């Protein structure tokens, strides 16, 4: 398991604390078809690139945190996930949007649990992926949030000490805009 530095920004150690938006992948950035691991399986959620671009423009670091039990299930490899994330980052970059870093969890308690036991605390609803990113990047936790499409995403956000927002589909940019507007009003 390696870190996924898909960033065009300064390295984390050279950066100042910034708010972060943690995004689940399947069901938030792309439509959840179940175990997507190739570029031809990605159908972007409406407004995904625009949402990431808006977050970038407003000073948020943008991180992707995704459970990928398909690895433990033997459906695809870590390399396939890495390749897909590189491809997704490039597509977003071409649309003027930047993902600062990625984390995924291959662990599943019912499949090869011993092989990925070191990542058990990363599987949402556990907060391990978020906490790992917070260790590697200076994050302003009070101004950070997560967007996910499942209750386990929201539980992970709460366990990491940040706000969680449940995305039920639709236009991701409009959803992000409403979150940012609500935060500005506070």
pLDDT(10) > 50? no
Nearest to 139 by CA among 131, 149, 147: 131
Please check whether residue 7 lies inside any domain of the structure.
no
Q: Are 92 and 98 in contact (CB under 8 A)?
A: yes
| Domains in the chain, number | 1
Question: Tens digit of pLDDT for each residue in 39-88?
Answer: 999 999 999 999 999 999 999 999 999 999 999 999 999 999 999 999 99
Q: What is the pLDDT of residue 185?
A: 83
d(CA 40, CA 20): 29
Residue 2 counted as domain residue: no
| 36 within domain boundaries | yes
Q: pLDDT tier at 14 (50, 70, 90 boundaries)?
A: low
Tell me the CATH number at 155.
Answer: 3.40.50.1000
Q: 82 exposed, middle or buried (CB, 10 Å; 0-12, 13-18, 19+)? A: middle
Q: From CA 3, how far away is CA 47, in angstroms rounded?
A: 26
| pLDDT for residue 12 | 56
Residue 76: inside a domain, yes or no? yes
Q: Residues 109-129: pLDDT tens digits? A: 888 888 999 999 999 999 999
pTM of the model: 0.92
| CA dist., res. 19 & res. 143, Å (int) | 5
- State the Cα–Cα distance between residues 180 and 155, nearest whole angstrom: 21
Q: Which residue has the higher pLDDT, 6 or 178?
A: 178
Active site residues: 24, 26
Confidence of residue 16 (pLDDT cuts 50, 70, 90): confident
pLDDT at 11: 53
């Amino acid at each position: 398991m390696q870190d996924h530095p898909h960033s065009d920004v300064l390295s984390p150690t050279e950066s100042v604390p910034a708010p972060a938006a943690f995004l689940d992948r399947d069901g938030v950035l792309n439509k959840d078809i179940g175990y997507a691991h190739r570029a031809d399986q990605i159908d972007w959620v409406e407004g995904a690139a625009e949402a990431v671009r808006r977050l970038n423009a407003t000073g948020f670091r943008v991180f992707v945190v995704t459970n990928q039990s398909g690895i433990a299930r033997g459906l695809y490899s870590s390399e396939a996930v890495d390749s897909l994330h590189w491809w997704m980052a490039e597509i977003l970059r071409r649309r003027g949007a930047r993902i600062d870093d990625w984390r995924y969890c291959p662990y599943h308690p019912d499949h090869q649990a011993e092989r990925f036991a070191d990542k058990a605390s990363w599987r949402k609803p556990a907060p391990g992926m978020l906490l790992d990113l917070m260790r590697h990047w200076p994050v302003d936790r009070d101004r950070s949030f997560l967007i996910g499409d499942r209750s386990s995403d929201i539980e992970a956000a709460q366990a990491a000490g940040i706000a969680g927002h449940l995305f039920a589909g639709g236009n991701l940019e409009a959803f992000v805009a409403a979150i940012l507007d609500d935060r500005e009003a506070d």
